[in-house]
């Protein structure tokens, strides 16, 4: 395990922390954004990184596709930056037109976290104050990345609140399981989801759900991501940026299975949240200097496990509340197979 200086930016030290397991799987993280920086697995071509990354903090700040960032307090969009809490209208700062995306301008993603590494666990902590991000209440947040000897990466999110508020964290990792420089259209995906959410023009859920069966959105049986994307070329988005509702399932079964075409590398995702946002980097381009991957549309796929975003204004879509003196905990587990 190591903790080393990655870069110093505006007099702030950004650390890189890494841990390795007994099978030579290595994960590393950056203190900036409590970011998941690398997921290296040994292959016949040497160690392969299965997630996208940049070499400089400035690239994360300049382009900001939330690349592998910790996201909070709330994943997804809050329309007009407004929601109700205990019968009162709350306004939070907007950062995408009129809306608040991924926690707003002072989200988890663009702050430098306190960091430590111990054994096979990387820990980030931060007091996210109401003064800092303009959400109600102060949150003491801890995010841990644990690499097990069974090749699992566990991301745990803990928050303790001193007042009523909201908490719906995720990680925005973009996977690309190709060992060569290709986009993710050739990867296969199975997703435990029979419905996705209708979105308005600004990608705010309307409250309607749409059945996936017999549509390009359907991943209930395994198919390539490209098969869906090719059927979406007449849409503005030209690919997926959608909220999937996760169906009821036994706790020990994955909600998503992503594989490379040779089926010798796979990532299975396990989580007890009711949604997953799938984003296929549809408009990414050459201005994005990824390490070992050419910036291009579909260069990675983000599968963001979370409570669906419209839970913020409609509790029938899930509970993202956190109460005064309460501690909440969420976990996402990534089982890596190679
Ligand atoms: C996704 C979101 C996309 C895009 C992306 C970050 O979660 O749905 O619209 O903002 O994050 O680039």
Q: Where are the domains of the chain?
A: 2-337
Q: Is the pLDDT of residue 63 over 90?
A: no
Q: What is the percent of the chain where pLDDT is above 90?
A: 98
How far is the C-alpha of 201 from the C-alpha of 193, rounded, in Å? 23
**Residues annotated catalytic, as ranges:** 172, 304
Q: Is the pLDDT of residue 78 over 90?
A: yes
First and final C-alpha spacing in the chain: 22
Find out whether 249 and 255 touch, Cβ atoms under 8 Å.
Answer: yes
Q: Is the pLDDT of residue 154 over 90?
A: yes
Query: pLDDT digit string (tens) for 188-242?
Result: 999 999 999 999 999 999 999 999 999 999 999 999 999 999 999 999 999 999 9
Query: pLDDT digit string (tens) for 279-314?
Result: 999 999 999 999 999 999 999 999 999 999 999 999
CA of 243 to the centre of ligand 1 (A): 11
- Band the pLDDT of 247: cuts 50, 70, 90: very high
- Band the pLDDT of 326: cuts 50, 70, 90: very high
CA of 82 to the centre of ligand 1 (A): 19
CA of 314 to the centre of ligand 1 (A): 21
Q: What is the percent of the chain where pLDDT is above 70?
A: 100
pLDDT for the residue 225? 98
Find out whether 26 and 18 touch, Cβ atoms under 8 Å.
Answer: yes
Q: Is the pLDDT of residue 24 over 90?
A: yes
- Collect contacts of 81-84 with beta carbons under 8 A, ≥24 apart: 83/166, 83/312, 83/313, 84/313
Q: Is the pLDDT of residue 75 over 90?
A: yes
Q: Is 241 in the pocket of ligand 1 (CB under 6 A)?
A: yes
Please state the atom number of ligand 1 nearest to the C-alpha of residue 76: 7
Pocket test for ligand 1, best of 102, 303, 309 (most atoms within 8 A of CB): 102
- The CATH number of the domain covering residues in 2-337: 2.70.98.10
How far is the C-alpha of 57 from the C-alpha of 55, rounded, in Å? 7
Pocket test for ligand 1, best of 279, 298, 308 (most atoms within 8 A of CB): 279
Please state the atom number of ligand 1 nearest to the C-alpha of residue 66: 6
pLDDT for the residue 235? 96
Binding residues for beta-D-galactose, by number, are 172-174, 241
Q: Is 304 in the pocket of ligand 1 (CB under 6 A)?
A: yes
Closest residue by Cα to residue 26 from 3, 49, 44: 49
Summary mean pLDDT of the chain: 97
Q: Quick one: 301 exposed, middle or buried, by C-beta within 10 A (0-12, 13-18, 19+)?
A: buried
Decide: helix, strand or coil at residue 226: helix
Q: pTM for this one?
A: 0.98
pLDDT for the residue 205? 97
Q: Count other C-beta atoms under 10 Å from residue 23's C-beta.
A: 14
CA of 156 to the centre of ligand 1 (A): 21
């Amino acid at each position: 395990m190591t903790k080393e200086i990655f870069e110093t930016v505006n007099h702030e030290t950004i650390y890189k922390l890494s841990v390795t397991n007994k099978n030579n799987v290595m994960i590393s993280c950056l203190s900036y954004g409590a970011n998941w920086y690398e997921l290296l697995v040994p292959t016949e071509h040497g160690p392969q990184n299965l997630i996208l990354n940049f070499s400089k903090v400035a690239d994360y700040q300049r382009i900001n596709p939330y690349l592998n960032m910790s996201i909070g307090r709330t994943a997804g969009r809050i329309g007009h930056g407004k929601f109700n809490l205990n019968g009162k209208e709350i306004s939070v700062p907007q950062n995408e037109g009129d809306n608040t995306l991924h926690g707003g301008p002072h989200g988890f993603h663009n702050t430098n976290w306190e960091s430590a590494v111990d054994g096979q666990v990387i820990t980030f902590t931060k007091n996210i104050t109401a003064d800092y991000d303009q959400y109600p209440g102060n949150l003491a947040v801890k995010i841990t990345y644990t690499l097990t000897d069974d090749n699992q990466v566990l991301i745990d999110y803990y928050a303790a609140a001193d007042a009523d508020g909201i908490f719906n964290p995720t990680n925005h990792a973009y996977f690309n399981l190709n060992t060569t420089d290709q986009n993710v259209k050739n990867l296969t995906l199975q997703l435990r989801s029979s419905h996705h959410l209708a979105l308005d023009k600004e990608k705010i859920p309307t409250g309607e759900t749409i059945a996936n069966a017999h549509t390009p959105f359907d991943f209930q049986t395994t198919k390539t991501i490209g098969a869906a994307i090719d059927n979406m070329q007449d849409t503005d988005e030209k690919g997926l940026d959608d909220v999937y509702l996760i169906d009821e399932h036994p706790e020990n079964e994955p909600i998503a299975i992503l594989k490379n075409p040779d089926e010798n590398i796979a990532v299975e995702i396990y989580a007890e949240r009711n949604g997953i946002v799938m984003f296929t980097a549809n408009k990414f381009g050459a201005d994005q200097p990824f390490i070992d991957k050419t910036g291009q549309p579909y260069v990675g796929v983000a599968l963001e496990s979370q409570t669906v975003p419209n839970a913020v204004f409609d509790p029938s879509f899930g509970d993202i509340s956190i109460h005064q003196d309460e501690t909440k905990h969420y976990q996402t587990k990534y089982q890596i197979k190679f």
